[in-house]
Amino acid sequence: MSILILGGAGYIGSHAVHQLIDQGEQVVVIDNLETGHRAALHPQANFYEGDIRDIEFLRSVFAKESIEAIIHFAANSLVGESMEKPLKYFDNNVYGTQVLLQAMVEAEVKYIIFSSTAATYGEPQDVPIKETAPTDPTNTYGETKLTMEKMMKWTEKAHGIKYVSLRYFNVAGAKESSEIGEDHRPESHLVPIILQTALGQREFITIFGEDYNTSDGTCVRDYVHVEDLIDAHILAIKYLKSGGDSDVFNLGSNKGFSVREMINTARKTTGKVIPAKIGERRIGDSSTLIASSEKAKRILGWDPKKTSISKIFEDAWNWHSSHPLGYGRKDFS
285 binds ligand UDP (CB under 6 A): yes
How far apart CA 259 and CA 208 sit, in angstroms, is 9
How does strand 220-221 pair with strand 257-258?
antiparallel
309 binds ligand UDP (CB under 6 A): no
Among 72, 110, 167, 221, binds ligand UDP (CB under 6 A): 221
Q: Give CA angle at 306 (327, 204), nearest 5°.
A: 50
**Binding residues for ligand UDP restricted to 183-202, rule: CB under 6 A:** 188-190, 193
Q: What residues contact residue 118 under an 8 Å CB cut-off, 6+ apart?
A: 129, 167, 168, 169, 170, 222, 250, 252, 289, 291
How far apart CA 54 and CA 109 sit, in angstroms, is 17
**Binding residues for ligand UDP restricted to 245-274, rule: CB under 6 A:** 259
How far apart CA 40 and CA 319 sit, in angstroms, is 13
Among 161, 207, 226, 309, binds ligand UDP (CB under 6 A): 207
Give the total of residues touching ligand UDP (CB under 6 A). Answer: 15
| Nearer of residues 193 and 236 to ligand UDP, judged by Cβ | 193
| Nearer of residues 147 and 246 to ligand UDP, judged by Cβ | 147
How far apart CA 14 and CA 239 sit, in angstroms, is 22
208 binds ligand UDP (CB under 6 A): yes
Residues in contact with ligand UDP, shown as a per-residue x/- string from 66 to 105 under the rule CB under 6 A: -------------x--------------------------
Distance of CA 299 to the CA centre of its chain: 21
Biggest CA pair distance of the chain: 56
Given phi > 0 = left and psi -120 to 50 = alpha, else beta, which region is 200? Answer: left
| Nearer of residues 30 and 251 to ligand UDP, judged by Cβ | 251
| Nearer of residues 25 and 285 to ligand UDP, judged by Cβ | 285
**Binding residues for ligand UDP restricted to 102-161, rule: CB under 6 A:** none
How far apart CA 294 and CA 273 sit, in angstroms, is 37
Which residue, judged by CB position, is nearest to ligand UDP in the bound state?
A: 219
Given the residues 11, 89, 141, 163, the one annotated as active site: 141
Stretch that binds ligand UDP, among 43-51, 147-155, 206-214, 266-274 (CB under 6 A): 206-214
Among 282, 297, 306, 311, binds ligand UDP (CB under 6 A): 282
Q: How far is the CB of 132 from ligand UDP (least distance, A)?
A: 22
Which helix (H) or strand (E) covers residue 279, if one does? strand 276-279
Q: Give CA angle at 130 (295, 265), nearest 5°.
A: 90
Q: How far is the CB of 250 from ligand UDP (least distance, A)?
A: 14
Active site residue 141: yes
Q: Which residues bind ligand UDP (CB under 6 A)?
A: 79, 170, 188-190, 193, 205-208, 219, 221, 259, 282, 285
The residues annotated with a catalytic role in the active site are: 141
